[in-house]
A and B are shown apart, each in its own frame.
Chain A
């Protein structure tokens, strides 16, 4: 166990370092330093500015300085707005995390319920309907769904007001973010539920007279849910990347739309900070969900 945990933690650290390196060197490959665009500066002013931001040092040294800075949350300042990047990230991430967590819970709850229903009514109408809808839902990109929801409910029917920070309405963004993971979890739960329902202990429980609902909740579900744990990592990644487009569409001022803005504005320090932040988040959640999976399921042997 300890060996496995150490191995996974080292792996996660290596991939975070690689992400940081890719980000840093990729951004440095872009021609033109941050102070080239400024109007007519004297050489002396430019030299002072470059020394201030360590731009006169070799690239690898700059990388070490940058890594040292971000290790205590100093991502620098935005090239466009001049605001502190860490502050922008933490403020806007609060909004994104709020929506993202609701979407996750919705996806988990509905996905598990629908998946269990499909397994219970195997090859009957409810099963076919649920599987059909889940297959359909995995073919709809989140941006298409979000745009269509906005079009139908906000613009045509005027049922739901367009998002504003005074009057936040989470329904549509949450639905657009959670539909894909929900469909995936439904399929996952159905497969593992069918597997569990075929086990001897379920038949025993039925034979001794436990009602079917009791069997599902007490015996089957807790085992059927184990594979779902491994999906929490990929689901986080899917919701985070989905939030880039969904927040842009609904004009929510979360981290996703800040990231997209920084891409269109070519605000390189902001792109760097956000990429590293999101990447670390995804790697960590992935690591945690894999470790929990191994902890929960005693059948899995450690390498």
Chain B
């Protein structure tokens, strides 16, 4: 149908705009790719990063090792090796897969003995299981300390950033002061004091770790959260200017609800990355303190204290040092690479 020529100023409708869409035009509206969420997209990027995937695999293997292996190995970390119920004092400082004379006799008589995969230490304890337990302790310390930092840092930073004004100023001055304290010195100092004053032998898990570990957690709780708090505050300062926060406020949402539902989910990636990078630093600190003799209580091993006791007999038994040292480096490296990978995949500032 031929349309009459339209006057430029007339309000007459253009009928062409009301024709049915052709099939080709309809296809343009088809969704070609599946819709993706922020999390899915980040995970896809993470899985494409070979270093991050490698470190995830390493960490899974380590976690499997510390959970499964103690069930298979018939020794415990403080058990002095005995053969057939007789204490075996010849099983001192054995090399990997070596048997003591008593054990060789027992094997010759047809008995079965689980091999000492990493040998034994100077007190006739199986070294492999000590390294496994040491890894367990170090990882536990790293995770727990990071959780402490995470909770305190996020709460403090969220309140400070959301409140703003005078409250923010005072809270940030406190952060500045804590930030300038030399953390390791304070940890050493408090470890010394707590070793003398605290008696925790009655408390189940913490008691066996000893007062030094409690002081480590305490100091992490007192000092290390400031980095996290600064990060969260800066993030919240920019997020709270968004329109959706204003909208939530205008319909009467309470501050706690806004922080929980609208602001924290938006800075979750920054928090995850910072936590992942906190774990290796906590493991580093723990092994450092254990190395100075301020770590977990004896006879509980940690990777740092194993390395320290191995160092004293280093010339005769170098492998004893190499095993825990490799373990520390492996775990720290894996967490560092994973943290970097998470940052590349999830940090909104690095996304295109």
Check A136–B333 contact: CB distance below 8 A.
yes
Query: CA separation between A283 and B185, bound complex, in Å?
Result: 12
Q: Could you name 24 residue pairs across A and B whose Cβ atoms are closer than 8 Å?
A: A11-B176, A22-B186, A22-B189, A26-B189, A30-B193, A30-B196, A30-B197, A139-B329, A139-B332, A139-B336, A141-B288, A143-B287, A143-B307, A143-B308, A144-B307, A148-B321, A237-B182, A237-B184, A241-B182, A241-B185, A245-B292, A249-B311, A263-B292, A275-B185
* Chain A residues within 8 Å of B177, by CB: 11, 14-15, 18
Residues facing A in B323-344 (CB within 8 A) are 325, 328-329, 332-333, 336-337
Most A CB atoms within 10 A — which of B196, B321, B333? B196
Checking B182, B280, B308 against A282 with a beta-carbon cut-off of 8 angstroms, the contacting residue is B182
* Chain B residues within 8 Å of A165, by CB: none
Give, as a whole number of angstroms, the nearest-CB distance from B346 to chain A: 19
Give, as a whole number of angstroms, the nearest-CB distance from B201 to chain A: 17
Query: CA separation between A136 and B326, bound complex, in Å?
Result: 12
From A140, which residue of chain B is reached at the shortest CB distance? Answer: B329
A11-B177, A18-B181, A136-B333 known; A155 and B315 CB under 8 Å? yes
B263 at the interface (CB under 8 A from A): no
Query: Number of residue pairs across A and B with beta carbons under 8 Å?
Result: 110
Query: CA separation between A263 and B288, bound complex, in Å?
Result: 14
**Mask for A266-303, Cβ within 8 A of B = 1, else 0?**
10000100010011001100100000000000000000
* Chain A residues within 8 Å of B337, by CB: 135
From A12, which residue of chain B is reached at the shortest CB distance? Answer: B180
Query: CA separation between A147 and B318, bound complex, in Å?
Result: 10
A11-B176, A31-B197, A283-B182 known; A141 and B284 CB under 8 Å? yes
A29 at the interface (CB under 8 A from B): yes
Chain B interface secondary structure, helix, strand, loop or mixed? helix
A27 at the interface (CB under 8 A from B): yes
Check B190–A26 contact: CB distance below 8 A.
yes
Check A278–B185 contact: CB distance below 8 A.
yes
* Chain B residues within 8 Å of A283, by CB: 180, 182
Check A23–B189 contact: CB distance below 8 A.
yes
A90 at the interface (CB under 8 A from B): no
* Chain B residues within 8 Å of A136, by CB: 333
Check B321–A147 contact: CB distance below 8 A.
yes
Most A CB atoms within 10 A — which of B185, B287, B321? B185
A182 at the interface (CB under 8 A from B): no
Query: CA separation between A81 and B202, bound complex, in Å?
Result: 36
Query: CA separation between A237 and B185, bound complex, in Å?
Result: 10
Check B293–A263 contact: CB distance below 8 A.
yes
Residues facing B in A1-42 (CB within 8 A) are 11-12, 14-15, 18-19, 22-23, 26-27, 29-31
A27-B193, A30-B196, A263-B292 known; A135 and B333 CB under 8 Å? yes
Checking B193, B280, B291 against A26 with a beta-carbon cut-off of 8 angstroms, the contacting residue is B193
A97 at the interface (CB under 8 A from B): no
Residues facing A in B255-308 (CB within 8 A) are 280, 284, 287-288, 291-294, 304, 307-308
Check B288–A245 contact: CB distance below 8 A.
yes
Residues facing B in A231-265 (CB within 8 A) are 237, 241, 244-245, 248-249, 260, 263-264
A141-B284, A264-B293, A283-B182 known; A151 and B318 CB under 8 Å? yes
Give, as a whole number of angstroms, the nearest-CB distance from B336 to chain A: 6
Check A147–B314 contact: CB distance below 8 A.
yes
Check A147–B311 contact: CB distance below 8 A.
yes
A156 at the interface (CB under 8 A from B): yes
B73 at the interface (CB under 8 A from A): no
Check B284–A19 contact: CB distance below 8 A.
no
Query: CA separation between A144 and B292, bound complex, in Å?
Result: 12
Check B182–A279 contact: CB distance below 8 A.
yes
Check A278–B325 contact: CB distance below 8 A.
no
B66 at the interface (CB under 8 A from A): no
B107 at the interface (CB under 8 A from A): no
